[in-house]
Amino acid sequence: MSKPAPRDLTVIGKKYVTPDMLRVTLGGDGMASFPEDQASAYVKLIFPIEGDEKDRVLRRTYTIRHDRMTDQGREVDIDFVMHGESDDGTDHGGPASNWAVNCQPGDMITIGGPGPKKLVDTTADWFLIVGDMTALPAVSVNLETLPADARGYAVIEIHSEADMQDLVKPENITIEWVINPTPGTQNTALSDIVKRLPWHDGRPSVWAACEFTSMKELRSYFRNDRNLGKDDFYISSYWKLGMNEDKHKVIKSEDAQNAA
């Protein structure tokens, strides 16, 4: 199947959901051919490299938080984590978060995709959903898709208590908020909480996405300590401390081959 052609979308508006999460709403004529019901699917934001005579571009991956129809037409929300700089001076957000901070209604952005959704298996007996702030949009959609009688946990790492969001979830899903003001530097912050959770009876569906080193820690736990098979859990790294997306993509591919 061929990839869909890139689309030019229009900035409709933006707002801070929490101090470290900026939501940009996109719409316009480019949404006319956009597939329906794409919340939790990913898109590639495409940025030209200034001064590059070969017309190369940068692509940055983001999850669609909301997809809705309004009186003005289709709109999608993209949430951007305001990472700031690490101790080594690396700007985690780079061109995408800088664009989000500076964009204004009426501005245009080219996007590729959408790519496929990655969701929990709603037929499972119970659920464990794990993510840091970069995965919070996908975590939120996963929680919203669970059946009303679902039971289990969501473990979510955020920068501070001010970044807690009111999430729609089934009554018997317990949310554990993990405060980590320096994401990527405390590699066991998520896994420490996950390992302390009581394990329910029955077949679980586990979904996890976070920083690369934290992902490896969690993957080892799910595979080796909990003996989960590949059909019982999905896990992915969304970023790696000190690396841009292009470099992270390379080591992510190498790790996937080694871990297969």
Domain definitions of the chain by residue range:
7-114, 118-259
Identify the pLDDT of residue 84.
53
- Report the pLDDT averaged over residues 231-236: 96
Facing residues of 66 across strands? Answer: 77
pTM of the model: 0.93
Which is nearest to 132 in space by CA: 198, 64, 66, 212? 212
Name the architecture of domain 7-114.
Beta Barrel (2.40)
Q: Judge contact between 93 and 159, C-beta under 8 A.
A: no
Tokens of 79: 């949430």
Evaluate if residue 56 carries a pLDDT over 90. Answer: no
Selected from 3.30.450.90, 3.40.50.300, 3.40.50.80, 3.10.520.10, the CATH number assigned to the domain covering 118-259 reads: 3.40.50.80
Which is nearest to 111 in space by CA: 23, 60, 32, 46? 46
What digits encode the pLDDT tens for the residues 81-129? 996 543 333 344 589 999 999 999 999 999 999 999 999 999 999 999 9
- What is the enclosing helix (H) or strand (E) of 65? strand 57-70
Integer Cα distance of 34 and 38 in angstroms: 9
Domains 7-114 and 118-259 share a fold: no
pLDDT band with cut points at 50, 70 and 90 for residue 6: very high
216-230: burial string, b at 16+ Cβ within 10 Å, e else: bbbbeebeeeeebee
